[in-house]
Structure 1
């Protein structure tokens, strides 16, 4: 039997309508295939449960303090999409029962993404909570209704706020609200109004992402043709800086480039805030994880893989009694070094020496000492007795910092045989 995994991603690719900016593996108008998909998904989960067994229990309370390593995280299950809330409660229960054989529900942070336009009512939210889901993430994107229509979202600002309040009444305390800035026609004044309403709602967790125009999406075509305009880079940067300032003043701690959680008064600079999403932190710590569902990605060093994309192809593969893997890629030791740095530096706590050694089996400075010293000299990185992290300026120039770790590896053949996972 293979070693268990502690982090599980489950992809639900169905949407009522595909958003104009989305390039995820999602499909509209396939509601009639949800039941067959859920059956296949449970079979895939059962296959992995037989191979892997069950993940160990969560770490004791208080182990998430610095230095942060993978062992400090709770086991996690994350239902993403697409729109998981297009599934009925009975269907979600089946999926979670199958997932429980891999990652124990009682021990885990269990998150579902949700579109405010597909959440039926407060009773549905209470049902989600009763099934063991203890964290929910709503894709709000903006509180400006005309922009929501341009994006192809099926909810209004008022409906998003109402759904958030329903989730509170349903017993959810761990709620994330997702927003995008740099949207078509968005002004700094509109973004300020969105931040004002967000802060008034006071969710425990906030995710803010800069719009990425993905080739092949309707929005990319509209911008390329000139029929839609987006803010320039300077305005988008000003929106991000305004968010940094306003959220900090409202009592939120930024713990990753795009993520904030309410800060406890006793939180230190080296700690994750209590409301941090452990599933996403697992990605940033370059942890192994299992991905199930159409198009889902998995990572178990020294390999990563992704499943077939199409819903019908996925269902057919599982019915044939095989794992629906489309492609597997081998990862080298250098890949492990690079990805551990590039992902970990997204966290405000950075990459600790303890984490790098625990993940990579080597001393961080033995691999990247010269690069670290140069970036410290440039004011882009801070190094202390715990580890290394981006400075505020380094976060604004993150791509430049990350590039240094890609092109200035100092791996020697002499240390390769001691690799540890």
Structure 2
């Protein structure tokens, strides 16, 4: 297929995003392999101080002109911290970085750990988006996942958040749970949609090494649904979410329109999928700036001690850095394709690829693209200026990505 090879020049000034990791949990769920810890509450004050110190030190080494368009508090369970501590960290970011006036400021919340007054205090502090870990509306499934909240907790959290003024709420749900049927999944989706969230994230349950779920599977105590069963639930989700008026803009994410007609996509996660720079703060956090990827040490005490050392590192790293990876041009092009194809609505732009790397997308990945086009896994759209996954490609996304990575 012939594609227009003329390109324009795109703007070069792109704001960064900031991710802040809160690794504390009341209880660690059986399927979770994130960098989270239960029973370490005594470290919260010192950890908060270390976070603020890391933010300040990295900002001092940052190049001029950086502005922040999104801030995301993830975990772990960020809502486990008091509003005053969360406000302290957010205030530190605002004091040391130029945060845009209409920045998206998100916080992950576990409905089993949130007191009603917290939502009002979060709004007063400047948070304007919540991501609530609902996971399921079926008590039996919540019990299997070892979640500590109830369905009523989810409903109450949304109600209290609305009263506090939150107009941008995401609900996380999980499909592919052992014993889950199309009917129980339908019930969970219907309950979630009845709460009228602006955004919904639907994730397939995966068995991660070292988790209790992994041990249960290896010991034969449970069996996971087949790929065909999980695909059936995912296909149902795509149809049901579209019928409910949500746009699927990423493999696992759907958004509604606001009163102005704008789709309320998660702007923070778009930064990742569009292969744009972000800074990570906290134990186990990751950052990406220009051609450099960094990751911090995982352990809470080690992270705190590293930050106390005040040793200097080149931006975007801090004293807590564990790994620094310098990506060559070929690696960057591969990653650009992998994350960009996750964007099921906008896909990968030929213009943007050329602007980033100074070479045609077809020149670099022509064979891979032709192969995937022939198998109906990707498609051209927007007058053949963009590539995206087909509906079948969404079901086999990981296989598609392997052709580029």
TM-score by length of 1: 0.87
Q: Is 1:402 paired with 2:401?
A: yes
- C-alpha contact (below 8 Å) 1:15/1:82 kept by paired residues: yes
Secondary structure class of the residue paired with 1:405 = coil
Q: Relative to structure 1, is the Cα distance of residues 172 and 266 closer, same or farther in structure 2, using a 3 angstrom cutoff? A: closer
Of 105, 113, 120, which aligns to 2:108?
113
Q: Relative to structure 1, is the Cα distance of residues 313 and 4 closer, same or farther in structure 2, using a 3 angstrom cutoff? A: farther
User: 1:260 & 1:358 partners in 2: Cα distance?
Assistant: 28
Of 271, 288, 291, which aligns to 1:299?
288
Aligned to 2:33: 23
User: 1:83 & 1:218 partners in 2: Cα distance?
Assistant: 19
Deviation at 1:396, TM superposition (A): 1.6
User: 1:394 & 1:112 partners in 2: Cα distance?
Assistant: 31
Unaligned runs of 5+ in 1: 58-73, 268-272, 407-421
Aligned to 2:340: 344
Q: Relative to structure 1, is the Cα distance of residues 237 and 4 closer, same or farther in structure 2, using a 3 angstrom cutoff? A: closer
- C-alpha contact (below 8 Å) 1:5/1:102 kept by paired residues: no
Aligned to 1:9: 19
Encode CA deviations 1:305-360: one digit per residue, 9 max, x unaligned: 11011100000011111320011112111110000001000002101122212333
Encode CA deviations 1:250-299: one digit per residue, 9 max, x unaligned: 111100000000147997xxxxx620001101101111211110010111
Deviation at 1:391, TM superposition (A): 1.2
Deviation at 1:198, TM superposition (A): 1.5
Aligned to 1:375: 372
Secondary structure class of the residue paired with 2:111 = coil
Secondary structure class of the residue paired with 1:213 = coil
Give the paired residue count.
382
Q: Relative to structure 1, is the Cα distance of residues 105 and 80 closer, same or farther in structure 2, using a 3 angstrom cutoff? A: farther
- Over the aligned positions, Cα root-mean-square deviation in angstroms equals 1.9
User: 2:206 & 2:283 partners in 1: Cα distance?
Assistant: 23
- C-alpha contact (below 8 Å) 1:6/1:103 kept by paired residues: no
Deviation at 1:98, TM superposition (A): 1.3
User: 2:275 & 2:292 partners in 1: Cα distance?
Assistant: 12
Deviation at 1:236, TM superposition (A): 1.1
- C-alpha contact (below 8 Å) 1:291/1:297 kept by paired residues: yes
Q: Is 1:326 paired with 2:326?
A: no
TM-score by length of 2: 0.90
Point out the more displaced range, 340-349 or 146-155: 146-155
Of 24, 44, 62, which aligns to 1:52?
62
User: 2:397 & 2:223 partners in 1: Cα distance?
Assistant: 26
Unaligned runs of 5+ in 2: 1-12, 312-318
Q: Relative to structure 1, is the Cα distance of residues 186 and 177 closer, same or farther in structure 2, using a 3 angstrom cutoff? A: same
User: 1:197 & 1:258 partners in 2: Cα distance?
Assistant: 18
Encode CA deviations 1:20-40: one digit per residue, 9 max, x unaligned: 000100010111110000000
Of 241, 255, 261, which aligns to 1:247?
241
User: 1:163 & 1:28 partners in 2: Cα distance?
Assistant: 22
- C-alpha contact (below 8 Å) 1:77/1:110 kept by paired residues: yes
User: 2:323 & 2:403 partners in 1: Cα distance?
Assistant: 29
Q: Relative to structure 1, is the Cα distance of residues 315 and 171 closer, same or farther in structure 2, using a 3 angstrom cutoff? A: same
Point out the more displaced range, 380-389 or 125-134: 380-389
Secondary structure class of the residue paired with 1:366 = helix
- C-alpha contact (below 8 Å) 2:69/2:102 kept by paired residues: yes
- Counting only pairs closer than 5 Å after superposition, residues 269-284 of structure 1 correspond to structure 2 as 274-284=263-273
Q: Is 1:354 paired with 2:364?
A: no
Q: Is 1:172 paired with 2:161?
A: no
- C-alpha contact (below 8 Å) 1:306/1:325 kept by paired residues: yes
- C-alpha contact (below 8 Å) 2:258/2:264 kept by paired residues: no
Q: Relative to structure 1, is the Cα distance of residues 54 and 151 closer, same or farther in structure 2, using a 3 angstrom cutoff? A: farther
Q: Relative to structure 1, is the Cα distance of residues 86 and 53 closer, same or farther in structure 2, using a 3 angstrom cutoff? A: farther
